[in-house]
A and B are shown apart, each in its own frame.
Chain A
C-alpha cells in the first residue's frame, strides 16, 4: 500500500525516528557543501540539495571497519569478533545511493556471507527521496537506478507538493512508519497520478548522451578493446584512487592490524584497484604492474558481461561522482564512450 504524509507532519515523524536511534541525512556543512551526517533535530534536514560527493557507503562499510579484537596476555592471545549493532536510519538518500547499498549487500551476502557487514546492513533502514529534478552529472537511467526506484528501498518518499508520497518496500520500512501511524494516510488518486507525471518528467530530463553500456560491455567482455586505447586512457589517470573511494559500489579492501588502546584491532580498510600496491606480492612480483592493466581491471569488474551475469547488474549506479572527482577525465561515461567509439579524446 502507498501512503502519504502531509508536509508539516515530516518534522514530527523525524522526531520520533530520532528517539529510536541514529538518523543520518544530507545536511548543509559549515562551508555550504552537502554531506551525510548524523542529525540531532529535524530542522537540520534539507529537502532541496545536490547529492553529497561522498556516498553513504561508509554507514554500511566504514573506511576503517574493525572486525576482530586481538588481546594479548603474556604469550596467550584471545581473539573476539567486533559487532556493530547500532540501528541507523538513512534519510533522504538519493535513488542511486539506495541501489549502491543494495549492490554492496548483495556482494556481501554471496557465500560465504560476511556476517560483520550483514549485521550492520540488516539494522539499517533506508528512506530515499526520489529525484524529481535529476542532478546534472547523473546517468542513473542507464543503470536502472533512478531517478525513481521500483525496489531496493525500505521507504521511498516523493515530493508531490503539499504532501509526500510514502512507498513502503520492506518490513523495516513498515516499522519506520509505525512509530507514528497517525501521521500516515492512504495516498489519494491524484497524488499517485502526480508521482507518475513527476517520474516521466524526471526521466525526460536525461539527454541522449548519457552512458551506453551495452556495446562497451560487448567489447570489454570479449577482450576487443585495443591495447593502445587502454594505453591512452590510462595516460590520463593520476592513480589517486578517488574514483574507487567515492564510488557507491566499490568495496575492495585490505586487512590490516591497527593498534588502539593497547590492543590490536584487525580492520578491513577500503583499498583501490588503481593503486600499484593493490596486487603487489611480497616477492616483488606484481601481476598488474602497469596502470593500463589496473584501469582495464576496474572497467572489467564494473562493465563486463562476466560480472553482469554474476551480479545481474553493471557495477555502476550512474551517480556521476567519478565525473566530479576524476581530474584525469577517466570517469565511467567517458571511458564507456571511448570504448564504444574506439577512440579517446586527445
Chain B
C-alpha cells in the first residue's frame, strides 16, 4: 500500500513570465519514491505543494513526448500561488500525481484536431498540442483557436509564434480588447469560427477556458454540427486529494479528480446531482 499523501520532491529548474500575473514553471524530480518513472498523459493534473502553504491542483502543461521537462503554468491568485511565484531556481516543492483520466490521444489518432482555448485555459491544451505536433503524422489537420482578454494576457507567446509559422498548424488568435499596436482579431473566441473551415464529422474539439467561454464555444460547436461526444473539455474543481476521497470535486456521484478532469460534452450533461 502506498502512502497516497506522501509527495515526491521536485526542484524548480526555471520559471518564466507568461503575462504580468502568470508564470510557467519547469520541474525536475529530485528523487522519486522507489525509483519509479513518472509517466503522464496530456490533460492529467498534479497536486503541487509549496511546503508550509499546503497543496493545490494544477494541470500539466507540458507534453509527455518531452519527458525531461515537467511544466505547469500558474496564475498568481492566492496564498499558495503567490508563494509559488516567489520561488527561485533550485527551490523545492512537493508533487503528487499524476491524477485524473487525461485526454485519450489514442482515440484522436487519424482525426482532425480543433483546440479552442481561452486565457490560461491553453495550458492543458498545450500538453496535447505538443503531443500531437511531436507525432504529427498520426493526426489530421490541427487547428488552434486562442483568445485572451487583452494582448498582454496571451500566454506561450514564443510557441504561438512557432505554431503560426508552421505550415501544418492553423492558428488564429483573438483578444476581447485590443491594445495600441494590436493588428489581429478582436472579439470573443467564437468569432474565430467564421474564419476557419471545420469538418465536424472528422474532428475532435478540445475546449478549455473560463466557464462562460466554454458555454458559448460548446453551443457554437454543437450548432455547427459537432456531436456531443466530439466536444471535449477539462473541468476545474478545488481537488484536495486527487484520489476521490475528500469530496471537494464531486459532482453527483462522479469525481472530477478521478472520473475526469477530461469529459466530453455528453458526459458533462450527465453530471447532475
Q: A residues near B, CB below 8 A? A: 67-68, 70, 72, 75-79, 81, 107-108, 110, 112-116, 118, 223, 251-257, 259, 264, 266, 268, 271, 273, 278-283, 285, 287, 296-297, 300-301, 304, 306-307, 310
Contacts and interface: CB of A to CB of B under 8 A. Distances in A.
A81 B91 CA distance: 22
B272 interface: yes
Given A76-B92, A252-B247, A304-B273, 17 more contacts: A70-B52, A77-B9, A77-B92, A81-B6, A113-B1, A115-B2, A115-B4, A253-B246, A255-B5, A255-B240, A257-B49, A266-B5, A266-B55, A271-B248, A283-B77, A300-B273, A301-B250
B225 interface: no
B50 to A, nearest CB: 9
A146 to B, nearest CB: 26
Interface residues of B, number: 42
Contact of A255 (B54, B237, B250, B251): B54
B109 interface: no
A306 B253 contact: yes
B175 interface: no
10 smallest A-B Cβ distances: which pairs? A306-B253, A282-B78, A300-B273, A115-B1, A252-B247, A67-B5, A81-B3, A282-B77, A70-B51, A77-B92
B248 A306 contact: no
A255 to B, nearest CB: 5
B90 A281 contact: no
A301 B92 CA distance: 38
A112 B4 contact: yes
B11 to A, nearest CB: 9
B253 A281 contact: no
A76 B10 CA distance: 10
A281 B53 CA distance: 16
Task: Name B's interface SS.
Answer: loop
B252 interface: yes
A281 B236 contact: yes
A111 to B, nearest CB: 9
Interface of B: 1-7, 9, 49, 51-56, 75, 77-78, 80-81, 90-92, 94, 211, 236-238, 240-241, 243-248, 250-253, 272-273
A255 B57 CA distance: 12
B5 to A, nearest CB: 4
B51 A264 contact: yes
Contacts of A72: 51
A271 B245 CA distance: 12
Contacts of B75: 283
A307 to B, nearest CB: 5
A254 B241 CA distance: 8
Contacts of A283: 75, 77
B273 A108 contact: no
Contacts of B251: 287
| Centre residue among A79, A107, A259, A283 by max chain B CB count within 10 A | A79
Nearest to B241: A255
B51 A115 contact: no
B250 to A, nearest CB: 7
B244 A257 contact: no
A199 B91 CA distance: 63
Contacts of B241: 253, 255
A75 B92 contact: yes
Given A112-B2, A282-B78, A307-B253, A264 B52 contact: yes
Contacts of B2: 112, 115
A304 B252 CA distance: 9
30 contacts: A68-B5, A70-B52, A77-B92, A77-B94, A79-B9, A81-B5, A107-B245, A112-B4, A114-B243, A115-B1, A116-B4, A252-B248, A254-B248, A255-B5, A255-B55, A257-B52, A257-B54, A264-B51, A266-B5, A266-B49, A268-B5, A278-B248, A279-B238, A282-B56, A282-B77, A282-B238, A285-B211, A297-B273, A304-B273, A306-B252
Contacts of B252: 300, 304, 306
A252 B92 contact: no
A123 to B, nearest CB: 14
Contacts of B3: 67-68, 81, 115-116
A297 B251 CA distance: 8
A300 B4 CA distance: 27
A282 B81 contact: yes
